[in-house]
Amino acid sequence: MKIRPAILLAFIGLTIIGLTANAQEYVSPTKPAQTGRSPGVKVKLISGNNTSKTYAIIFAAGDEVMSGLTEFAQNYHVTSAHFTAIGDVQTAKVGWYDMSRKMFKVINISSPSEITSLIGDIAVYNGKPVVHAHINVADSTGMVHGGHLFEAFIAPTLEVMMTVEPETLYKKLNQEFDVSVIDPDMK
């Protein structure tokens, strides 16, 4: 049987495209969050004193979590905070840190899931507030997936309780792992 060169080239091309489509995605640990993707976020100060403030940050369907939290930090001049949250996602991208690559392996969550835990903090890196969050989500079977949060689109809501502290926390680059980490000694 004789194979025509055009058919062979088409087969090779489709094979390469298929392999590329299935290639594992990796993301830099210091990639900043994309803003402007959370127009439905509402914020309410629920308690405050001379040392700290607690806010309820409520996301609407379609809002993206890291975008909304980053914008909150920028708009409210947050330099140190911690938070917890519950809600639901339509889709999400989380990461697992691969030490050999010094990159996050991206794990796509493509079905609606219940947020069983969302925790994180905010500190300053290169003069800007940076959100660091980890998330666990349960799918319709109760199987839990999670990791470092890159993006999550909400449906129907996300309820974040954010405590903002008065003392600024700073991050610095850890050269060994190529990640930014909080340095409590930095001023």
Write the DSSP symbol of residue 50.
S
**pLDDT score recorded for residue 40:** 98
CA 60 to chain centre: 17
Domains of the chain: 25-182 (3.30.1330.80)
Place of tokens 């990639």: 31
Alpha-carbon distance 71 to 48, whole Å? 20
Alpha-carbon distance 138 to 98, whole Å? 23
Using an 8 Å Cβ cutoff, are 113 and 92 in contact?
Answer: yes
Alpha-carbon distance 166 to 130, whole Å? 16
Using an 8 Å Cβ cutoff, are 158 and 137 in contact?
Answer: no
Q: What is the pTM assigned to this prediction?
A: 0.87
Alpha-carbon distance 20 to 139, whole Å? 27
What's the burial of 7, exposed, middle or buried (CB within 10 Å: 0-12/13-18/19+)? exposed
Nearest CA-CA partner of 129 in 119, 117, 121, 118:
121
**pLDDT score recorded for residue 16:** 47
**pLDDT values of the chain reduced to their tens digit, one per residue, 187 residues:** 566 655 545 555 544 444 445 689 999 988 889 999 999 999 999 999 989 999 999 999 999 999 999 999 999 999 999 999 999 999 999 999 999 999 999 999 999 999 999 999 999 999 999 999 999 999 999 999 999 999 999 999 999 999 999 999 999 999 999 999 999 999 8
